[in-house]
Structure 1
Amino acid sequence: MPGLHSPKPQRYSPSDEPRITRTRDALEAGLWELLRDHELAEISVAALCRQAGVHRTTFYGHHRNIFDFAGSVYAGVVDRLGTVELDQRGTGRTIAEIGDLYVESIRQIVQHTKAEQRVYRALFHTETFLGILADQLNVRILLALHVWRAHNVPPPALDLDATAAFLGGAYASWFEQWVVSDDDDVEARLATLRYLLPCWWPRDGFPEA
């Protein structure tokens, strides 16, 4: 998986059980290696486990198939790219600065998903990945909504949980449409969000259409 956008194995907290962490890291590293020369659909669980030095029984104890595992890995990559280093109140930042940070995180996801287009196309053809991705985005959006609320941006009566769930699904579908298309203009894609976000959401950082 060449290029600047190659994902890195996910890091875990020190409280995680070391053996599980080592196994997960080995499987992730094995997946990245196999994807250098193979399409996702060509990779079997047996091949991945041989590459990672992990027993198949261990793999099936946590995942149903190769697509299930790859989906969790790639959704984790999107989640990490979508992480913005702010506390829950966006302390010390202006609305414009916060907006720039969020737009940059979306830009990184857009760049990454296009760079890894062949894998994401395969994942979006499964029955589960869209929902997995929506759940990950839901969490990130809810955190953003709490930051905006601390800056008095959303209407006071807005239900943040319901809004995050709605926008998480919308964002996931927006990324899916981007991945399955042949378009590669990242800035033009970002500019479409100026018209798709709720009217109260700050437009700072988004390119002009």
Structure 2
Amino acid sequence: MSAPETPREQRRPSAEEPRIARTREALASGLWELLQENELADITVAALCRQAGVHRTTFYGHYRNILDFAASVYADVVNGLGAVNVDQRGTGRTQEEVGVLYAEALRRILVHTFAERRVYRALFHTGTFHAVLADGLRPRFLLALYAWQAYGLVPAMDCEVAAAFLGGAYASWIEQWVAGEDDDVEAWLASLPDLLPGWWPRDGFPGV
């Protein structure tokens, strides 16, 4: 008989974590409020901290500047909109159903980034947001690749490398969307299948 496993010590949440989360939420709310009447480049740390009721030393303890914070906030928004309720085996769903879920997630991202196009243009103009967004999208694509792998669709490849590549490609695709004047979400989404690998499912895309 094998010896029983030694119980693993559970990680206890730091007492600081809820406070940090509340601070970030207050700063994010303050940023969105200020952006209603101001350009991102015109918002100062002092103004944001006044709006959020947060001390500047607290802000600088986590972020270098307004652009650094805004990039983090907006990348998280895109990442959240890209979330799909699928595990890495696609359990309980058909390939077609999973494909539709991913297409719907992309549609949500396009609708949101169009509505906030002014801010996303400013963020991409910094030259650093692309990398932040790509890094945030990478885990989403890794999950998608594992799901497609479970359906036998993915050719022999390093999924980590492929996920990083796709994260960067999609960040560029979103950047082109917000940089242009096109407002047709469905047409932009319909253009994506031509850019995807041949084995990537097309379920859920307009016109497919």
Could you state the TM-score of these two structures normalised by the residue count of structure 2?
A: 0.91
What stretches of structure 1 of length at least 5 have no aligned partner? Answer: 1-13
Aligned partners of 2:87 and 2:143 also within 8 Å:
no
1:144-172 Cα offsets, whole Å, 9 max, x none, are 000111111111x1211111111111110
Q: 1:202 maps to what in 2?
A: 201
Distance 1:98 1:87 in 2: 10
**1:170 and 2:169 are equivalent in the alignment:** yes
What code does the residue aligned with 2:195 have? Answer: L
Counterpart Cα distance in 2 of 1:31 and 1:15: 27
Letter in 1 for 2:116: E
In the alignment, the residues of structure 1 paired with residue 13 and residue 117 of structure 2 have an alpha-carbon distance, to the nearest angstrom, of 34
Q: Which residue of 2 aligns with 1:74?
A: 74
Q: Which residue of 1 aligns with 2:157?
A: 158
Deviation at 1:18, TM superposition (A): 1.8
The C-alpha deviation readout for 1:3-60, integer Å capped at 9, x for no partner, is: xxxxxxxxxxx93612111111110111111111111111110000001111111111
Contact 2:189/2:205 (8 A) holds in 1: yes
- Root mean square deviation, CA, Å: 1.3
Q: Residues of 2 paired with 1:168 and 1:29: CA distance?
A: 27
2:47 matched to 1:47? yes
Q: CA deviation at 1:138?
A: 1.1
- Report percent identity of matched pairs: 67
Tell me the distance in 2 between the aligned counterparts of 1:45 and 1:104. Answer: 36
Partner Cα separation in structure 1 for residue 90 and residue 136 of structure 2: 20
Give the aligned residue type for 1:98: V
SS of 1:37 mapped into structure 2: coil
Distance 1:144 1:161 in 2: 11
Give the unaligned 5+ runs of structure 2. 1-11
- What residue identity is the alignment partner of 1:50? R
Q: 2: distance between equivalents of 1:137 and 1:198? A: 17
Equivalent residue number for residue 182 of structure 1: 181
Q: Which residues of 2 match residues 18-33 of structure 1 at below 5 A?
A: 18-33=18-33
Q: Who is 2:117 aligned against? A: 117
User: What's the CA shift string for 1:82-139, capped at 9, x where partnerless?
Assistant: 0001111111111110000000000000110010000000000112100000111111
- Give, in angstroms, the shift of residue 182 of structure 1: 0.3
Match of 2:149 in 1: 149
Provide the TM-score with structure 1 as the length reference. 0.90
Instruction: Flag as ranges the 4+ runs of structure 1 deviating above 4 A.
Output: none
C-alpha displacement of 1:63: 0.8
